[in-house]
Amino acid sequence: MLVTAQARAEEALVTAQGANVLAVVDLEAGAVVGQIAMDGAPAGIALSPDRKTAYVTRPEGPGLAVVDLATRTVTTTLALPGGPLGIAVNPKSGVVYVADWYGSRVFVIPADGSRLETEFQVGASPSGIAVTPDGATVLVANREGDTVSVVDAATLALTRTIPVGRHPFGLTLDAAGARAYTANVTSNDVSVIDVAAGTEIGRVTTGERPYVVALAGNRGFVTDQYAGTVSVFNLQTLTSVAAIEVGDHPEGIAATRDGTSLVVANWGSNTLSILDAATLKVTKEIPVPDGPRSFGDFLR
């Protein structure tokens, strides 16, 4: 009889800025199962296409750390200028994009993290980055520019600049790459973008200081930093559904692979809140090291 090994429980990779670690959390067990030390106040995170490597920005390094998730070791560190914060990986090429919070540029780094290959210009204080599933287009939220830059991944040329709400920070694409969503920090709303048309097609009101958007089923979920809530809205009608109380200063949020749960990193209360996507209830609170941010792609 053939017996298959039990699949690894879904993990959250939590950048704990105050503790200077990347914490590995077993979501099923509800516990931290590993900690990987790294200095520089780790904040942003993205995963390689095969989900075996994590790339972590260190704004106070400043620089980038490359982590082998099988051995849970930092294999490479790369010094970067400015303030590296937002990060994304091209799903086709594995190229890493890092936003310079203090500049108007995005760094381009090969998958091995060995060097700063080049950079391209965007708007003021770039933060969230997303790449379309075909790897052809990079979108960047420019917090101080109140815009989203659309960049051709092959030529690194700016193809469009899209006005959105005030101070867009987190930027999320749907699975098809058809719509993008920005969390607009000071206008307390989410801009909905038609990527092909390159235009904003709607706004959704959120709680105070929205940070990041996650998608599950037919709903969007937005962390509201100052409200201590997650705002929920309908993706078709763009109307508000609910506000769920979570921990203090929720920041990073992501949906599990099966879309049944949302994982929220609460920066102020040092916890992860697990939300049921159907009932909109908090089902679990998991203690994590100090200052969890998990700004980016942090579930595997």
Percent residues over pLDDT 90 in the chain: 97
pLDDT bucket at 5, cuts 50 / 70 / 90: very low
pLDDT bucket at 225, cuts 50 / 70 / 90: very high
Does residue 2 lie within any of the structural domains?
no
Does residue 4 lie within any of the structural domains?
no
CATH number of the domain to which 271 belongs = 2.130.10.10
| Model confidence pLDDT, tens digit, residues 25-62 | 999 999 999 999 999 999 999 999 999 999 999 999 99
β-pairing verdict for 44-47 and 295-296: parallel
**Which domain, by its residues, includes 272?**
11-296
Does residue 16 lie within any of the structural domains?
yes
Does residue 88 lie within any of the structural domains?
yes
| Model confidence pLDDT, tens digit, residues 99-142 | 999 999 999 999 999 999 999 999 999 999 999 999 999 999 99
Give the pLDDT mean for 244-273.
97
| Model confidence pLDDT, tens digit, residues 143-167 | 999 999 999 999 999 999 999 999 9
Does residue 6 lie within any of the structural domains?
no
Q: What is the pLDDT of residue 6?
A: 37
Percent residues over pLDDT 70 in the chain: 97
Q: What is the pLDDT of residue 140?
A: 98
Asked if pLDDT for residue 278 goes beyond 60, the answer is yes
Q: What is the pLDDT of residue 154?
A: 98
Q: What is the pLDDT of residue 116?
A: 98
Asked if pLDDT for residue 298 goes beyond 90, the answer is yes
Asked if pLDDT for residue 4 goes beyond 70, the answer is no
Q: What is the pLDDT of residue 9?
A: 57
Does residue 160 lie within any of the structural domains?
yes
Number of domains observed in the structure of the chain: 1
